[in-house]
Every structure is written in C-alpha cells, then in structure tokens.
Structure 1
C-alpha cells in the first residue's frame, strides 16, 4: 500500500526510451544505457507491456543508479518506501532518497520526513553487479550469463555480487576454462586442494567453481573479520602468508591484485559471520 501524499515516481529522463518498442529498450538496457535501464525498470514495476516483476525492476534501477541517474535513485527509494515487490525498508529508502534530494529532487526531499531515522549501510543492490567497468567489459552473452549466475548465487553466500565479480575479473577475466601456471582453474581460479576443501565436485563446471570460490571468500571474510585487504591478499597468496606477514605480503603481484580489486570495488570491508569458519571441510 502506498503511503498517503507521495508523489509518483520520476521517469521524465527516460520518457524517450519509454516510447521505443520494449525489445529495443531491453537491448539498450543490456548495453548499459542507464535511461533505458530505468525505462525497463518502470515497465517491469508496473507491468507495462511485460509481466509485472518488481524485483527485476529493482535490479535495473540498481544498475542505472550505479551510473548516477537521479531517477533511478528516486525509484529505488520509492520501491522501498512502499514495499513494492521488496520488503519495506525505511533505511534503504532513506539511503536512495537522500542521494536524490542532495541532487536537487524536491519530490525525494518531501518524502524523507515521513521515514524512520537510521540506516544499516544496506543499499538493496548487493545482489546486483553494478560496477560499470565490469558490465561494459562483460558484453558477450556468455559473460552476461556468468554475471547472472553470480547475482543468483551471491545472496546464498551473503556476499556482495560486486565483490565476487571483481575477484572473477582479476582471477580469470570471466573465462571458465582459464588455467594458471600454478594449476588454479576456472572462473575463480581454484587450486585443486582449495576446491576439495570447499566441496567442489567439478572444478571446471562454472556453477560449481563459483560456489567453491564464494565459499572460500566468505571463509576468509570470517577469518580476517571482514578486512578486505587481508581477505584478497589471502585469496591471491594464501592465508598463511597473510598471517606470517601480518597483512598483505610484500609481493608485487599480490599488492597489485589487492589494490586493483579494492579500487574497482570501492570498499575496504565486507560484512561477515564467524559461523562461516565452520563451513570448510577439515
């Protein structure tokens, strides 16, 4: 149910795209055009020419929001204010509406006094790969399928899909058959011993490889208490080296690897659960 007195969602910037045939809008959205992404999100939110799917609308709004489109910020806030296909969450709504209000959108500023105070840092977009560099580089249908699989699996492991995608980009460049000189294999470049440790049955199967890599990532997050610099260094060089050097080992490859991912991901910490330490095979 909509809160009383709220303005309708703002979609003016995408109005030209809303006039295009939906299949053209989809193609442009997949190519990364943020206004087309908002137009597709609006169609999915309201069931205009397509089956209504508010959660898919959220995903397209998230992608456009990452490109800085104010309308996407507002529409995400609108979804979470009203619980339209997503759990109602004033904290997430406030996060996006404050961004829109700071950008000068009066409608967003008018809603903010109606919301409860407080935010927990969630954006509601953690299950969506929004890093523009990765989405632009991942232009082939095969690569987009991998991103979709990441977005499907990451919530199961309580991982930010952007972090997983950034690790895959650095490890294999999204090549499922990649193999290193040290014997690491697949999308997340698992060594056979690591694959066994986290229950991987077929190291070359993309989903099995992703599951093993995500399980290892979350184990490292628990071990190093969410410190991404140490987590990524351990993923690259092994946790024992990080423990021995009390931080990132003095290896040029590892330091470059850590910096490249952190710069792209834009954060240096990630939520974790100590219980994840119990989920590796002894």
Structure 2
C-alpha cells in the first residue's frame, strides 16, 4: 500500500515533467548516462559527405559562415577551454575540410565530425550548427587530453577510434585509418610525427613479498613477480 502511494505521488508531481522532457539512457564510453538528448532530438540533414568549399558555408540554420569566421569561432572557443587553436584547426582540416554540413559514411556530423553518441555526451543538439559543433568538439578533445595525460597523439587516436580502444591497448591502435589520422595531423601540427607515450591504466596498490621476506607495496606488481619464484 505504501509503495502504491509513492508511485501515485511520483506521477502526480512529475508527470508533466516526463511528458515535456523525454529522458533516455545511453551507453557512452562504457558508462550509462541519463540524458534528455536522445537520438531523435539530434537534428540531422540527409545526404552524403559534401565536397569541400573553402569560400562560404551555409549551416542548417541558414546562416552563412566564411572560413575566416569559422576560424574565429575556433580561436574564441579554444581560448575559453584552454586548447591549442592550431591543433583544432588541423583536426577540422582533416575531419571535414571546414565543411559545416559534412556527413561521413559512419554517421559523423558537422565541421568536427561528431558521432551521435559524442554529440549527446557533449550536449550538442544541432551538430550542423558550427558554433555548437566546434564548442562540443573542443570540449571533447579537452576531455581526451586530460584522460590521456596530455598526450596529443593518444588523444587524436581516441578522437578517431574511440577512447576505450586506445585505453585498452595503451597506444595508438594498429588501424590504418587511425594511424594515418594521427600521423597526418602530427606532421602538420609539429612538422614531424610525434611519438606517443605508452598509456598506463591506474592499478590498485598490492603487497608483494620479496625473496628475502621484505613486503613491497606497489601498483606495478608485474615488475616484481619474479621475486616470488626465488
């Protein structure tokens, strides 16, 4: 009886909210996320990836953007979030050729080619609005740089192939598209290929008994495993 009363009160007070705002569950980067940005709330336009046109782009909102205006948006957002604008510009050059309406065969959208799940994660409702897309793409790249300890090569690989894959292998995945993506942007950004630092997951500290009876506390048990054999 008490449970029925709680259910009644829930619908009484929250029914309007549930009708007004659809809430759904999404699994993003291996985590379950409650969000009101469900698949059908992301505005899409049909068609294949458009050809590059560096003079003037018209977004789905009907607003035209010149290359200079798009670069200015990148610089403003990068300054706001503390990310190097040169890196983001090279990513955009590689991702879409500065085409705000670009769509990849895999479904990546807009100037920074956000996948639908990434757009949801970053709160981007219209991926074909350059302001929203660039803002979300830069924030996502900032997250990846933080996750991989500031290693630009690993962050680029994660942007292309997904952070969970990069984290699981601890390096740039052996995928031709991803390696070409990282190498091309690195060459343009640094003037040379920039080697990545192996990524190490955080491991819990364990007690290891050495051969002389000493107890060693370490999070790299594998380095001392030989001691147990003597």
TM score, norm. by length of structure 1: 0.45
Q: Within the alignment, does 1:228 sit opposite 2:190 as a pair?
A: no
Instruction: Note the 1:51-66 alignment, pairs <5 A.
Output: none
Query: Aligned to 1:159, what secondary structure does the other structure show?
Result: coil
User: CA separation in 2, counterparts of 1:148 and 1:139?
Assistant: 15
Q: Within the alignment, does 1:156 sit opposite 2:80 as a pair?
A: yes
Answer 1 or 2: which has greater helix percent: 1
Contact (CA 8 Å) 1:138, 1:144: kept in 2 or not? no
Shift of 1:139: 5.8
Superposition RMSD in Å: 1.9
Q: Within the alignment, does 1:140 sit opposite 2:64 as a pair?
A: no
User: 1:214 — aligned with what?
Assistant: 138
Shift of 1:164: 0.6
Structure 1: 5+ residue stretches without partners:
1-136, 270-282
User: 1:200 — aligned with what?
Assistant: 124
Deviations 1:97-147 (A, max 9, x none): xxxxxxxxxxxxxxxxxxxxxxxxxxxxxxxxxxxxxxxx99635212111
Answer 1 or 2: which has greater strand percent: 2
Shift of 1:264: 0.5
Shift of 1:244: 1.9
User: CA separation in 1, counterparts of 2:53 and 2:117?
Assistant: 29
Deviations 1:138-169 (A, max 9, x none): 96352121111111211001011101101101
User: CA separation in 2, counterparts of 1:234 and 1:150?
Assistant: 20
Shift of 1:192: 1.0
User: 2:109 — aligned with what?
Assistant: 185
TM score, norm. by length of structure 2: 0.55
Contact (CA 8 Å) 2:112, 2:137: kept in 1 or not? yes
User: CA separation in 2, counterparts of 1:159 and 1:139?
Assistant: 24
Contact (CA 8 Å) 1:220, 1:234: kept in 2 or not? yes
User: 1:255 — aligned with what?
Assistant: 179
User: 2:94 — aligned with what?
Assistant: 170
Query: Aligned to 2:120, what secondary structure does the other structure show?
Result: helix
Query: Aligned to 2:89, what secondary structure does the other structure show?
Result: helix
Structure 2: 5+ residue stretches without partners:
1-51, 57-65, 196-230
User: 2:214 — aligned with what?
Assistant: none
Contact (CA 8 Å) 2:95, 2:112: kept in 1 or not? yes
Structure 1 runs (4+) deviating above 4 angstroms are none
Shift of 1:190: 0.3
User: CA separation in 2, counterparts of 1:138 and 1:148?
Assistant: 18
User: 1:124 — aligned with what?
Assistant: none
User: CA separation in 2, counterparts of 1:238 and 1:252?
Assistant: 14
